[in-house]
Structure 1
Amino acid sequence: MADTSQPVRRAALFASGVALLGLLTACGSESATSSGTPEPGSVPPPGSARSSSAEPGAGTAAPDDTTTAAGAVPSGTAGSASASARTDGRCHTGELRASVGRVDPGAGQRNFPVVLTNTSGRTCTVHGYPGAAFVDASGKQLGPDPERAPGSPRTVTLAPGSSAWAGLSFSSPQISGARTATPATLLVTPPDEREPLKVRWTAGEVPVGGNASSVSLTALEAGTGP
């Protein structure tokens, strides 16, 4: 009888080898899929680093964090830009306080410094003449608007807390004989603004009509008075 055991053993051994090779191939494929790690030299798909960073301790989180930091504007630089922007532009009514200084009499004139003070936290500018009007307790204007005195208006830069002043002048009514009234308030409007500031008027009567009744106002200049 022919001996068939050797061919059978070879066939069995070949089948076992094929099965083992298939098992190893399957295990290797499953490992690469679950790790998500690209092969050396391959390019990860867009967004893969950001998605991976959602996992605590993921090895791809560091590149994502680095990209974010490089694209961010340093806080100190952003603050400097904002501060620079706040120093530009004219002073608005809501950023100023108006006041009237002490009378400076002389040669039949009554002269008052009308002062605008920067109460904001930024540097701003004023240029030219403020507006002014005397009004009674009901808000009705007394007399015409002041005339602008000849001068050369210039821009005054006001840091926070700094002031500019304009001279308000008129002939003393006792000397001029002009018709007078006693205002309750002086309205002061900063240059190029529409809303006035209210200042309580405590300096007595002012000319509102008749001869020599004009009131004049100078352009603003730095400081609180002469």
Structure 2
Amino acid sequence: MANKSHSVRGTAVSVSALALLGLLTACGPGGDSAGGPSTLSGTAAPASGGSTSASAGSSAGATPSVTPKDGGVPGSASSAGGTPSEAISASGSVSTRCHTAELRASVGRNDPGAGQENFPIVLTNTSTHSCTLRGYPGAAFHSAAGKQLGADPKRTSGSPDTVTLTPGASAWAGLTFSNPQVSEAKTATPATLVVTPPDERDSLTVKWSGGQVPVSGNSSSVFLTVFAPGTGA
């Protein structure tokens, strides 16, 4: 009879120990009775400061991040419905190019040499703010009826520099051609020179008082140089 009682007590102790172990396992660290922590799929990206904390998109049920089609940063003007011009304004990158309406055109005095006729095309900033010119002008001789005389001028080789024009300041580009009496090219006497500033579509019309110009035949090409500061005088 003593042996049976000892066996029952041993069995009761074992059952109690198992029950206690089950209770401790159910509670787990932190006392959460819902069971152990679940494993989330995916990998949390490190924060910008090098921390390994999970980002907002790594939690279960969070909306996955989407890379904007335009390559912008989520939340920026370019990816949050803003227009490109708004993005440019926000970054401070505003163009300062001189526009046609801000300029006055003129033709300087001829400076002939070695059988060449050399006229400076001058653009002057008439606005109240600084602006820039870079590259070549467009130019064409026109008759009194508005018809272009001769082919479009050609560009000489050169390295354009950005010329900043403060209000009232000028820049010039050279217009040069062989003297028709030397080249024996066919000539015409223009009424005007139509000048287009770099990267602009609108033109400025200047009265031409430089005499005859070559329009066809031998050595009839007219050439343009890049803009430089000053008036070319």
Using structure 2 for the length normalisation, give the TM-score. Answer: 0.59
Counterpart selection for 2:113 from 98, 106, 109: 106
The match for 1:92 is 99
The match for 2:215 is 208
3-state DSSP class of the match of 1:138?
A: coil
- Mapped to 2, the partners of 1:101 and 1:126 lie a distance apart of 18
Deviations 1:51-96 (A, max 9, x none): xxxxxxxxxxxxxxxxxxxxxxxxxxxxxxxxxx8x9510000000
Q: Kindly report structure 1 stretches of 4+ aligned residues shifted beyond 6 Å.
A: none
Are positions 1:124 and 2:124 aligned together?
A: no
Q: How many residues align?
A: 141
Is the helix fraction higher in 1 or 2? 1
Counterpart selection for 2:140 from 133, 137, 141: 133
Offset, 1:119 = 0.4
The match for 1:60 is none
The match for 1:186 is 193
3-state DSSP class of the match of 2:182?
A: helix
- Ranges in structure 1 where 5+ consecutive residues have no aligned partner: 1-84
Q: How does 1:19-168 map to 2 (within 5 A)?
A: 88-168=95-175
Using structure 1 for the length normalisation, give the TM-score. Answer: 0.61
Question: Which protein has the larger Cα radius of gyration, Structure 1 or Structure 2?
Answer: 1
Q: Percent of pairs identical after alignment? A: 69
- Mapped to 1, the partners of 2:209 and 2:189 lie a distance apart of 9
Q: Which amino acid aligns with 2:138?
A: G
- Mapped to 2, the partners of 1:118 and 1:93 lie a distance apart of 10
Deviations 1:92-136 (A, max 9, x none): 000000000000010000000100000011100011000000000
Deviations 1:133-166 (A, max 9, x none): 0000111100001100110011100000000000
- Ranges in structure 2 where 5+ consecutive residues have no aligned partner: 1-91
- Mapped to 1, the partners of 2:156 and 2:107 lie a distance apart of 18
RMSD: 1.2
- Mapped to 1, the partners of 2:227 and 2:152 lie a distance apart of 17
- Mapped to 2, the partners of 1:200 and 1:164 lie a distance apart of 19
